A and B are shown apart, each in its own frame.
Chain A
Amino acid sequence: MKRIGKLTAAALSTVMAASVVMTGCGSASTNSEGSGAAGGEEAAAAKITIFQSKTEIMDDLNALAEAYTEETGTEVEVWETTGDNYLSDLKTDLSTEKGPTLFSLQPGAESIQMADYLEDLGDLDFVDKVSAGLADEVDGKTVGIPYTVEGFGLVYNKDLVDAEGFTSTDDLVSYLSSAADVNALGLSQEDYFLIAHIFNAPFAVQENPDEYLAQVLSGEVRLADNDAFKEFAQIMEAIRANCTNPADITYDGNCGDFATGKTAMIHQGNWAWSMFADYDMSFETGLAAVPIQGNDKLSVSVPICWYLNTDASDEEKASAKQFLNWLYTSDTGKDYLMNKFGFIPVIDGMTSDGIDPLSQSVADAVAADKIIPWVMSNWPAGIVSTDLAPITLDFFTSDMTGEELLNQLNDAFVNAQ
């Protein structure tokens, strides 16, 4: 394998040459045209474009953009896509240098992969007030500003089960095998709800999760030799033996079963609250930790961050930074973040009332420092949907043992390298 130099490129056929032009032209571009849209007005900063994956807030985000234009005169345009198409659209846009000014990514594998598209945001006014560890740093630079924090664990019905009372895997497993008349613990068929979230727990309870993950990836350690993972396998076996088959149920159905009292616990996060809105729920809900190795902490992290496109013009960058400053410090901006988007505060000193009970549990866990990280953000890109979920579905529809499950999952990690 050799790098393409000019000499070799010259020798290639026209077809290949064309593609070299296409791949190579991104390196030093500053995308100056189309940015001087400010026209004759002096005060208004350059127009910015926003592309982001959280479709749930799209309407409010459009309203926010209008509010911003009204207050400052700067035009903000929000692009749209479906949750599923976001990443491929973004990649295509960035590769054609037609990228948005501001966009969203999951911090971790995604932001590391795209590191050279991410502008340093270290000079934002409020950046040192972002709660410790929540801003996304790549290569020592602060590049991502968190939307919110989200947490997941066992969402439970307080009338049916005392999930806070589980102090060990044995407690949980014995509840799963003894619960009558009710589905004890619901997972659902979507990749993240089927495996990724619940599989985060055994990674996160390791003494040094990132180091452990690195060892798994390099094949130095095997999951099946680790106690936390053995307990995880026990839980999965107990779910298969006693609960509704996750392969048969969707996120919508799982939340419906929970909201109508047919399921005692679902492994979900605070975002699920919006799914309960249409139901008439007569019971209280709580959010408890998955008690692997006696764990009493919720998996909490930043699901997505704002990033600024390095290819944007200087005017656009300045304008986008003004926008972020406004969003996180002005009254209107904060009102949108807290009350319209329903986000959990990520800036020190910012508080939110009128938060839903699940988000409150997450906010409490953050305040009490009872949180474990999302190791899953650092898993190899795409591994959840292409490997982990199919393996887990296979597990739930066959008689594979828990140990075999661990070994197959383990192999997927090793092969992804």
Chain B
Amino acid sequence: MNSKFKKIIPNILMMAFCLVYLLPIYMIFTNSFKSRSEMYENMMALPSRLTLEYYQSALSKMNFWVSLRNSLLLTVISIGLIVILSSMTAWMIARYKGKVSRFFLSLLIATMLIPFQTIMMPLMQEMTWIEKRTGLTMTDSIPGLIFMYIGFGAGMAVFLFHGFISTIPISLEEAATIDGCNTWQVFWKIVFPNLKSTTITVIILDVIWIWNDYLLPSLTLKAKENRTIPISASKFFGQYTISWNEAMAALVVTILPVIVFYLFCQKYIVKGVAAGAVKG
């Protein structure tokens, strides 16, 4: 009995801590049901009634389903390409040791330190320039934005993949080469499957970044049919005041898909690592 009790206590403490930790999220959730005057009365209290009024108006004002489709397309394709291209690059840089590799790596890492605000105007000028010269729709198009996300996501993804690849032994790859695999096959058959845990880390971190990103899409996506969720929710943020209840309702529906996605991935991480342990 006593030892059982001892086991429960840390669990209770941990849960209590987590709940306190999530207090601001509680505030977002509860205030999405309150009118302006109710929120003014007490921001911390539970709402006096559970109304979906603000959710309904937020969803319709945001043109939610179109925005959701755009956000999904943008996030999934961008991240798919970031993962594929970055893992390939990272592996080469890690295995082909030379001046070019070192230059690429330091270039990728150094640019992670550039604040986006300082390059946003030159970037948009360059994209417009390309658009005018080549006819490719770089601005106000989802493919154009995906292209830019690959560029901005490259640094961190290569950095993470490179860090992990340097820790895995090269012997397996050499064995595969001797068995007659070419470089392309070695990567996809041997190396990439081994990168599972880093791939998931990259995916999780990038999903959140791209899903929530405001500044870059706001500069490029103008047409109604192209807007993502954060752009559609921007109308709740006025110059002086925020339409709190709608903004928070919008936030709740925006992060729900990400939470579901994360819970799904979390299971997968544990499984993937466990499977690896059995094999090893």
Contact = CB atoms under 8 A, between A and B. Distances in A.
A and B touch in the complex (CB under 8 A): yes
Interface of A: 19, 22, 25, 33, 49, 53-56, 58-59, 77-86, 89, 91-93, 95-98, 190, 192-193, 251-253, 256, 259-260, 271, 275, 277-280
Interface stretch (B102-110, B170-178, B223-231, B269-277): B223-231
Contacts of A98: 124, 128, 139-140
A92 B237 contact: no
Interface string B208-231: 000000110011001110010001
A95 B37 contact: no
Given A80-B234, A252-B36, A278-B36, A55 B219 contact: no
Contacts of B61: 59
A291 to B, nearest CB: 25
Contact of B232 (A19, A55, A80): A80
Contact of B223 (A55, A77, A81, A259): A77
Interface string B137-152: 0011000000000000
15 contacts: A49-B222, A55-B235, A55-B239, A77-B224, A81-B218, A82-B235, A86-B239, A92-B121, A93-B124, A96-B139, A251-B240, A252-B39, A253-B40, A259-B37, A277-B36
Interface in B93-145: 120-122, 124-129, 132, 139-140
Residue of A33, A56, A86 with most partner-chain B CB within 10 A: A56
A278 B37 contact: yes
Nearest to B135: A33
A389 to B, nearest CB: 13
A285 B125 CA distance: 50
Given A49-B222, A80-B227, A92-B121, A97 B37 contact: no
A96 B220 CA distance: 11
A192 B125 contact: no
Given A92-B120, A95-B125, A83 B40 contact: no
A56 B243 CA distance: 9
Given A80-B231, A85-B218, 16 more contacts: A22-B125, A22-B126, A54-B239, A55-B235, A82-B234, A82-B235, A83-B239, A85-B215, A92-B124, A98-B140, A252-B39, A256-B36, A256-B37, A271-B240, A278-B35, A278-B36
B124 A193 contact: no
B2 to A, nearest CB: 51
Given A22-B122, A77-B223, A59 B235 contact: yes
B280 interface: no
Contacts of B124: 92-93, 95-96, 98
A53 to B, nearest CB: 7
A56 B132 contact: no
Contacts, number: 99
B48 interface: no
B7 to A, nearest CB: 46
Contacts of B223: 77
Contacts of A84: 237, 239
Contacts of A54: 239
A82 B121 contact: no
A193 B224 CA distance: 33
Contact of A55 (B218, B231, B238): B238
B241 interface: yes
A33 B140 CA distance: 14
Interface of B: 35-40, 61, 120-122, 124-129, 132, 139-140, 214-215, 218-219, 222-224, 227, 231-232, 234-241, 244
Residue of B223, B232, B241 with most partner-chain A CB within 10 A: B241
Nearest to B222: A79
Nearest to B235: A58
Contacts of A193: 240
Given A83-B239, A96-B128, A193-B240, A279 B121 contact: no
A271 B241 CA distance: 11
Contacts of A83: 237-240
B134 to A, nearest CB: 13
Nearest to B126: A22
A85 B120 CA distance: 13
Nearest to A100: B222
Nearest to B223: A77
Contacts of B231: 80-81
Nearest to B215: A85
B128 A192 contact: no
Contacts of A82: 234-235, 237-238
Contact of B239 (A53, A79, A252, A259): A53
A93 B120 CA distance: 11
A182 B153 CA distance: 55
B240 A80 contact: no
B222 A251 contact: no
A192 B238 CA distance: 14
Nearest to A22: B125
B270 to A, nearest CB: 39
A303 to B, nearest CB: 10
A80 B129 CA distance: 24
B129 to A, nearest CB: 7
Residue of B125, B140, B224, B237 with most partner-chain A CB within 10 A: B125
Contacts of A277: 36
A251 B241 contact: yes
A251 B36 CA distance: 12
A86 B238 CA distance: 10
B55 to A, nearest CB: 16
A305 to B, nearest CB: 16
B219 A89 contact: yes
A81 B122 CA distance: 20
